[in-house]
Structure 1
Amino acid sequence: MSQDDTAVAGWKDAIFNALKAADIQQLYYVPDAGHAHVIERAHQDPDMKAVVLTTEEEGVAMSCGAWLGGQRSVLLMQSSGVGNCVNMFSLLQSCRIPFLTFITMRGEYAEFNPWQGPMSKATQPVLEAMGIRVLRVTDPDEVQDVVEAALDAAFGAGEQIAVLISQRLIGRKKWSR
């Protein structure tokens, strides 16, 4: 493993380790390379149930169900999936359900796909318009602190929180032709 690979695995491990320490029992996701490390770790963990979704809004509803059933959960998605969730986000506000999502950003740094740009620009304003507080990580050294703060806000204070993981932090998406 190169030094760069070790640094990437380090901040991704920090996310998973913080989720474990906060007793996250369910993890919902639409497959995404930016979240692959955390998803893989969740599948390997016997105390965590990792559930693949067909669409992101299912994860909002499942997060509500997990909370009502006495468990903590997290939703992993890409910025392009935020638009799919807008109607379901109203459930979080109406029922005052604690909620935490980690969103890997596309359409930012070194993006090759022009279709990712519009939702990337709209992600934070849409989340905030739906009453979800947004935190952003851009540096590997801040990941653990931001993730722990998000967990405290969601499951300590009962807030709805989105952590945006910048495309620059994730790294250039490579497309082979």
Structure 2
Amino acid sequence: MNSATDAPADWQEEIFGILKRGGVRQVAYVPDAGHSHVIRRVHADPGMRGIVLTTEEEGVATVCGAWLGGERAVLLMQSSGVGNCINMLSLVENCRFPFLCLVTMRGEWAEFNPWQVPMSKATQPTLEAMGVRVLRASRSEDVAATVGAAFDAVFHAGESVAVLLSQCLIGRKEWERSQ
């Protein structure tokens, strides 16, 4: 399995293509290696705006605000950031905002950092408890169909959906030790 810093996999470009073709204009994110290809592509596209966040719950408000302003937006984050969004997700539920979130998972496969494990176990139940439907892609060949289905559910049916991108897709993350 390649690390997230290697050349992008086809599924990463497919995600960008779905967002671009679907008219997403704003992409809010906390920097994350698993989303780095999509983030770079967004910043390189003059028709899209990448919005760097200081914390994930800002992204929930950004996505809702974009919708109020007539634009489509998506939130990119890592599973560890889902816990930061719990209270803000009440905005999505109570106001019935269409909401799309793509979540790279940590703490579930070949994880070296024990601090990532508890939130990986809580990510799906937390999102579901806040009224967000959860879809999961664990194989590269399933990513485009899963993200496409989520996109349609959000922007055509008005749902709130998070796609969990398995850590198997992202690859093993390794820290380099300084000498």
TM-score, with length taken from structure 1: 0.96
User: 1:26 matched to which residue of 2?
Assistant: 26
Q: 1:36 matched to which residue of 2?
A: 36
2-side partners of 1:11 and 1:161: how far apart? 19
| 2:111 is the counterpart of 1:100 | no
**Distance in 1 between residues matched to 2:70 and 2:9, nearest whole Å:** 31
Q: Percent identity?
A: 65
The corresponding residue for 1:134 is: 134
- Residue in 1 aligned with 2:71? 71
Q: CA deviation at 1:175?
A: 1.2
Aligned residue-pair number? 173
For the pair 1:147 / 2:159, whether they are aligned, the reply is no
Map of 1:112 onto structure 2: 112
Structure 1 segments unaligned to the other structure (5+ residues): none
Aligned to 1:175: 175
Q: CA RMSD in A?
A: 1.1
The gaps in structure 2 that reach 5 residues or longer are none
Q: What does residue 46 of structure 2 align with?
A: 46
AA aligned to 2:65 is: G
**1:44-99 deviations in Å (ceiling 9; x for gaps):** 00000001000000000011100000000000000000000000000001100000
4+ runs deviating over 4 angstroms: none
The one-letter amino acid of 2:140's match is P
| Residue aligned with 2:9, SS | helix
Alignment correspondent of 2:165: 165
Q: Find the aligned partners of 1:18 and 1:174 in 2 and give their Cα distance.
A: 29
Q: Which residue of 1 aligns with 2:17?
A: 17
Shift of residue 9, structure 1, vs aligned partner: 2.4
Distance 1:136 1:9 in 2: 17
Distance across 2 between alignment mates of 1:166 and 1:93: 25
Instruction: Name the CA distance, whole Å, in 1 between partners of 2:139 and 2:117.
Output: 21
C-alpha distance in 1 between matches for 2:147 and 2:23: 13
| Deviation per residue, 1:111-141 (Å, 9 max, x gap) | 0000000000000000000000000001111
